Amino acid sequence: TRNFLELADTVPNVQFTREANGTTKVRSGATSAEGTNVYIDGVSQKNYVLTGGVSGQDSSRGNPFPQSAIGEYKVITSNYKAEFDQVSGAAIVASSKSGTNDFHGSFFWDTSNDSWREESPLEKRAGVRDDFEETQYGATFSGPILKDKAHFFVAYEAKEYTTPNVVIPGSIYSDRVDQLPTQLQPLVATYSTPFKEDLYFAKIDWTIGDNSLFELSGKYRKEDELNDVGGTSTLEHGSINGQEEKRANLRWQYSGANFLNEANLSYESAFWNQAPINNGNGYILSYTPNRGNETDVLAAGAGSSFQRKGQKGWTFQDDLTLNSLEWHGAHTVKMGVKFKSIDLDSTQFNPANPQYYYNILSDVETPYRVRFGAPLVEGGGSVVSENKQYGIYLQDDWEVNEHWTLNLGVRYDYEETPAFLDFVTPSDVAGALQNWTNLRNANYDINNFISTGNNRKAFKNAWQPRLGASYDLFGDQAHVIYGGAGRAYDRNIFDYLALEQLNNSFNSYSYYFTSANNPACLG
């Protein structure tokens, strides 16, 4: 896959998985992928809105960063030091490549297509080989701008996939295509769905004097994919999934005789989008012998899903390392602060297009049901939160003697999510819950789950001690016993926090049409 996260699969207790549809995720132990965080050049790549842990890794076959631009790589599965935040699974630490005083370049091209593989049983039966292609290519170029002073590095990687997806009618009609409506029969076919990703990375470093190093880097990721095609969903009922990510980081490293200070100012914008290929009315052919007993046979016409979810903001963090401290051994003390202002966006309309249902058992020209969505308030279906994140930590790597090393640290994090904290439960919803007879003898107070706009508080107890110790048996680093204990707080996924507002601002309705001749309309 040329996904640099795949390298983590070589580490015990870490799994890199690739699903049948090509999407990838990485997790450690029994944790989910959401607990993973990736730090590139010291900057967190956390996804705050969607699952996957890293921005851009939810429902995507793409790569989060050019593998050819990775210089060093480390995976930490436990005993994180206090400097690592927003992680509860694997911490993947990577540094990007830089230019040198010599010009260097590289190129790769990797491809596979339908001419290089055996025909599938379905293709042999049909006598037609489906289009299939997986191509990856890229290049790097680096060199000096001013010898010994300034250098550049650029990388580009791309993925182009063409994947066959088979449309198979549902219910009892998987092998009865001739019994479908005539106009729908040509839609039962194999479709080749494309995926395209472009990844760019550029970096400039500039050394000023003997103490200061500046680095300016940027990444741009763009991908598009034809999705939701196959099974009972035809090509015209599919959707386009798009992803666009922009990141920039300015890093200043200043070193003295006994200290090193690193300051980072970062910008990020990462959005995932899904929209129907066509707009209009959806046509859902179903097998419905009676109302409530409904099985989709084929989906045609306009698709239903529209989503836009992502994050945009800036971060400042500063890390100071003090070395050559002596007190009952050697100490390396590191401390840091972090502030992030990030706007989180969760938008979804489901269904975005009305979906009309037709019963194959009675009338395939007249619908028996329609499902449609409508906003309940202005701007319904969209939630935006202007979040603020704060972090501070202190850690000490204490080499007591040639045998004992202690890693002592603590960090504190605090975050405010105004969209969640300031939300007010609509009065009609609150009244309906408070007067619901089924809750009269409940062993909890329903008012604890009703928001007034003032009764929700941000979590303030995110103190995270991190303690570790190692003992070198013979003082030669050949046989070392180590252990540790600590606490780590991750972030709540905003897509989950926004659900109550999304459901209270955009609703889905389903109406049955009265027809004595259609069993789908009868109870």
- Please classify residue 470 by burial: count the beta carbons closer than 10 Å to its beta carbon, then call 0-12 exposed, 13-18 middle and 19+ buried: middle
Kindly list the distances between the CA atom of residue 178 and the CA atoms of 168, 184, 321, in Å, as whole numbers in the listed order: 13, 10, 73
Identify the pLDDT of residue 515: 67
User: What is the rounded CA–CA span in Å between residue 330 and residue 218?
Assistant: 38
Question: Looking at residue 233, what DSSP letter applies?
Answer: B
Q: What is the CATH number of the domain that holds 274?
A: 2.40.170.20
Whose CA is closest to 81, among 24, 39, 23, 141?
39
In Å, the largest CA–CA distance within the chain is 90
Distances, alpha carbon 76 to alpha carbons 84, 87, 296, 337, 410, in Å: 10, 11, 46, 21, 17
Q: Among 201, 242, 195, which Cα is nearest to 222's?
A: 242
In a domain, 263, yes or no: yes
Question: Which pLDDT belongs to residue 124?
Answer: 75
Query: Cα(155)–Cα(267) distance, rounded to whole angstroms?
Result: 20
386 phi and psi, to 5 degrees?
-95, 90
213: which strand partners? 207, 253
- Quote the pLDDT of residue 126: 72
Q: Tell me, what amino acid is at 10?
A: T
Q: What is the DSSP string of 145-174?
A: EETTTEEEEEEEEEEEEEEEEEB---GGGT
> What per-residue confidence (pLDDT) applies to 282?
97
C-alpha torsion sign, points 510, 514, 520, 523: positive
Among 309, 429, 449, smallest CA distance to 377 is for 429
pLDDT tens, N- to C-terminus, the chain (523 residues): 789 999 899 999 999 988 888 888 999 988 899 999 999 999 999 999 999 889 988 888 999 999 999 999 999 998 889 999 999 999 999 999 999 999 999 999 999 888 777 777 767 777 777 788 899 999 999 999 999 999 999 999 999 999 989 999 999 999 899 999 999 999 999 898 999 999 999 999 999 999 999 999 999 999 999 999 999 999 999 999 999 999 999 999 999 999 999 999 999 999 999 999 999 999 999 999 887 889 999 999 999 999 999 999 999 999 999 998 999 999 999 999 999 999 999 999 999 999 999 999 988 999 999 999 999 877 789 999 999 999 999 999 999 999 999 999 999 999 999 999 999 998 888 999 888 888 888 888 898 889 999 999 999 999 999 999 999 999 888 999 999 999 999 999 999 999 999 988 899 999 988 765 666 665 4
- Domain count for the chain: 1
Q: What is the pLDDT of residue 522?
A: 58
Residue 434: CA count within 13 A, CB half-sphere: 11
> What would the pLDDT profile of 458-475 be if each residue is shown by its tens digit?
999 999 999 999 999 998
pLDDT of 520 reads 60
Domain assignment of residue 180, yes or no: yes
- The Cα–Cα gap between 477 and 86 comes to 31
Integer Cα distance of 345 and 312 in angstroms: 9
**Residue 435 forms part of a structural domain:** no
How far apart, in whole angstroms, are the C-alpha atoms of residue 415 and residue 338? 12
Whether the ω angle into residue 194 lies within 30 degrees of 0, i.e. cis, is: no
How confident is the model over 247-281, as pLDDT tens digits? 999 999 999 999 999 999 999 999 999 999 999 99
The answer to whether residue 261 is domain-embedded is yes
> Strand (E) positions, 277-379?
282-290, 293-301, 306-326, 330-349, 355-359, 369-375
Q: In what order do the strands lie in the sheet with 506-512?
A: 293-301, 282-290, 355-359, 369-375, 506-512
Whether residue 116 is contained in a domain is answered as yes
CB 161 within 8 A of CB 275: no
Going from the C-alpha of 213 to that of each of 69, 210, 367, the distances in angstroms are: 20, 9, 68
Specify the pLDDT at position 122. 66
| β-sheet with 91-96: strand ranges across | 43-44, 37-40, 91-96, 70-76
Whether residue 325 is contained in a domain is answered as yes
HSE-up of 171 (CA within 13 Å, CB side)?
20
Q: Token match 């996260």: residue? A: 5
297 within some domain: yes
Residue 183 lies in a domain: yes
**Full domain range(s) for residue 125:** 99-417+458-521
C-alpha distances in Å from residue 462, one per residue of 45, 49, 331, 335: 21, 20, 26, 17
